Amino acid sequence: MTDAVTESVRMLAGRYRLGELLGRGGMAEVYRGTDARLGRTVAVKLLKPSLANDPAFRTRFRQEAQAAAKMAHPTIVRVFDAGEETVRDPSGIEVQVPFIVMEFVEGRLLRELVADGPTPAAEAARIVSGVLTALEYSHRAGVVHRDIKPGNIMITSSGQVKVMDFGIARAISESSATIAQTSAILGTAQYFSPEQARGESVDARTDLYSAGVVLYELLTGRAPFRADTAVAVAYQHVSEAPVPPNALVPSVSPAMNAVVLRALAKDRFERYQSAAEFRSDVEVAAAGKVPAYTAPRDDFSTTLFGVNPASGAASQETMRRLASEDADRLPRTTQSRPPVAWIWSGVAVMVVIVVSVMVWVFSLQSGTTIADAASVSVPDVAGQSFASAEKELTRAGLVVTRIDRASQNVATGNVIDTTPRAGASVSKGFTIQVGVSSGPQKVAVPPVEGQARADAIATLRAAGLDVGEVTEVDSATVAKDRVISSDPAGGTDGVQTGTKVNLQVSSGNVTVPDVRGQDVQAASDAIAAPDVGLQTSLVADRGCAGQKVTKQSVTGPAPQGTVVQLTYCSGS
């Protein structure tokens, strides 16, 4: 939305007066507003006018706004009103600006909290529990959010969790006018579910996956999948397993680790099937207990879910029927007690169970657990050569993936760090990413000639270079305090980051030569020469003859633009 269009929208529907800008995203801007009719403070979201050009968007927008307005819950930001305002753009053409009037919430976006680093598990569980409470309410109302992410979650000044923008993502995503901007509309791909990444239909479990990503990010301070492009991140959601949270932050409990990984299951039928189930396990794990795992089951009581094509529900029923039919064909027995073979089988099973329990008890007493035997601690290989580090990690039963990146402090070919970090507990066969130094990063020296001194220094530092000596030099053509040249020169490629670049800066002065005794024409030409570039003012002295200069007003350093007065003999 252009600032000119926004400036023309100051009163919506003759009722909502816009105030300060609170935030700006890819498809909308949010303002503090005042409801002139009720005298209350509201938040007003203005969407891009281009969206209103699509009839499908306008229809869906009205439907979703009406559905969102019906939801009233302490964990959901209320929607009070929605509509379109007709304004004129800078060219004088009338455009429609869709708007939504919402409850104004004093607080902080969750994305600001996430930026501070890992959150204590108890607080992370409390926040996500609030998000899941909102989702439970909305899912029962038949509304799927589709865009759960820290940017759509508010934490009030009292600590209350509030989720906003219900239904808006669907209205925008189904607009043909914005189909090419999906990643901007639905937030970053970091919070996509695998089915969203594949372009499939979504249901309530999509929201639960995104809530799992938010919980992962709260616990670890980073999203489970990161890459240079949204497409690469979406691919990871579909095909790669996330690093367990406790491999990044060892303080995350195994119980909470298991809850997060179940929420991030690729197959939606292997995830939590309801927000209530997810919230219950989060609260149990936060209390230091291990949630009781129950196999996911299809929920046929709501249209938010479909039948699991891989669950084999129909096949299982067929197998039960066939088993029943086979049983009908078997000859009946009149024996009223179990066969002797069954009795001995039962005794053997009991013996195995008793022996297993004894082995388990002795293993506990010796301080060794099954988990300990199946896991290893990531060795500290920082500073070693990659070959040496690879051998040590392989001996520990880990798989190594090399990632080269620039480093100012670590020698080329040596290990910078590992992900997960040294000391983290991981299972054998886990893939460890080893960061290997490719040496200092090489950059090109940006051209700074003609820039002001402060701007040139900022440009060089932004490119990863340092500033060396700054020397003031007289110049007839470059304005005072602007760069004349740099060493290395601008455009030089392959320079290591941190290299010092020397600058020559114009002093604003020129050196005026002493032209006394010279012919007046030659003297004028010398002062007007390119390396001096000054004008002269001639004063004739009739008391002498010979056309020679006898006096000049200034010699040596003089400010650019100085006019030099020359007195010369003009008598006959």
Active site residue ranges:
147
d(CA 109, CA 534): 61
Distances (CA, A) of 128 to 148, 220, 237, 364, 374: 11, 14, 20, 35, 31
Q: Check if the beta carbon of residue 55 is closer than 8 Å to that of residue 98.
A: no
Is residue 189 exposed (0-12), middle (13-18) or buried (19+ Cβ within 10 Å)?
buried
- Beta bridge partners, 563, equal 535
d(CA 447, CA 397): 51
**Residue the block writes with tokens 């009946």:** 332
Q: Check if the beta carbon of residue 160 is closer than 8 Å to that of residue 207.
A: no
- Beta bridge partners, 470, equal 503
d(CA 242, CA 259): 13
Distances (CA, A) of 141 to 11, 23, 135, 138, 301: 32, 29, 10, 5, 13
- Beta bridge partners, 431, equal 399
Distances (CA, A) of 297 to 269, 271, 274, 283: 8, 10, 10, 21
Helix 204-220, helix 121-140: angle, nearest 10: 170
Quick check: bond before 120 cis, omega within 30? no
Q: Check if the beta carbon of residue 114 is closer than 8 Å to that of residue 221.
A: yes
**Residue the block writes with tokens 């506990």:** 364
Nearest to 456 by CA among 433, 487, 432, 416: 487
Note the helical H segments in 70-165. 110-114, 121-140
Note the helical H segments in 77-167. 110-114, 121-140
